[in-house]
Amino acid sequence: MEDFRNLYYSGDRKSIFHWRNTQKSMLATGYFAAFSALAYLMAQNHAGWVFVFIIAILITAGSLVFFLLNTYKYYQWKGGVENYLKKQSQYPSQTLVLTNTTIELTSPEGTFIDKWESIKNVVIDKNHIMLKGNEPIQYLFPVQAMNISDYEQLKEFVGQRMRN
């Protein structure tokens, strides 16, 4: 399961501090809060700055709401990933059978069979092979979950199948 966890939490999805959406809104909120503080200090001595301070506070509040919404989206996504990983960890093993017409995945829960025609695109990189179809059809095969020869064999088969 750690192989899947590493894939899901790679790149900018490690935490809310790394995710692009929360990172940008967090920085914007910080900048607006700093400007609000400056406007507050200026408003203490200059009555004309009171209006600027009020506008700055409203913008900061809006930015904070946007940040909190993005944080909520991140934790919603993370909760879904954790639930999926927890469910998958209950299965001691799964069997994958690829034929020229179908993809079969068998687990203690049952057998799931999809036709290759339902797969719309494939991503093959150094970390994983991902088969994407109409939602919710998606298969993810981390390289670390198999030996190199199995990975190469899977990569070749999937590539040939998608080219036909």
Full DSSP string of 16-58: TTTSHHHHHHHHHHHHHHHHHHHHHHHHHH-TTHHHHHHHHHH
Query: What predicted TM-score, i.e. pTM, was given to this entire model?
Result: 0.63
**How do residues 103-138 score in pLDDT, each as one tens digit?**
888 888 788 888 888 888 888 888 888 888 877 668
List of E strands, 11-161 = 95-98, 102-107, 110-115, 119-124, 128-133, 138-142
Could you read off the pLDDT of 140-153 as tens digits, one per residue? 888 887 888 888 89
Residue 1 has pLDDT above 60, yes or no: no
Res 16: pLDDT: 83
Report the candidate in 125, 145, 147 with the shortest Cα–Cα distance to residue 6: 145
pLDDT bracket for residue 69 (50, 70, 90): very high
pLDDT at 160: 87
Q: 79-102 in b/e burial notation, b at 16+ Cβ within 10 A? A: eebeeeeeeeeeeeeeeeebeeee
Q: What ranges do the domains of the chain cover?
A: 2-89, 95-163
**Please, what sign has the CA dihedral across residues 84, 89, 92, 96?**
positive
Judge whether 142 and 127 are in contact, CB under 8 Å. yes
CA dist 107 → 34, 93, 133, 135, 160 (Å): 54, 7, 20, 20, 26
Pick the CATH number of 95-163 from 3.90.180.10, 2.40.10.350, 3.40.640.10, 2.30.29.30: 2.30.29.30
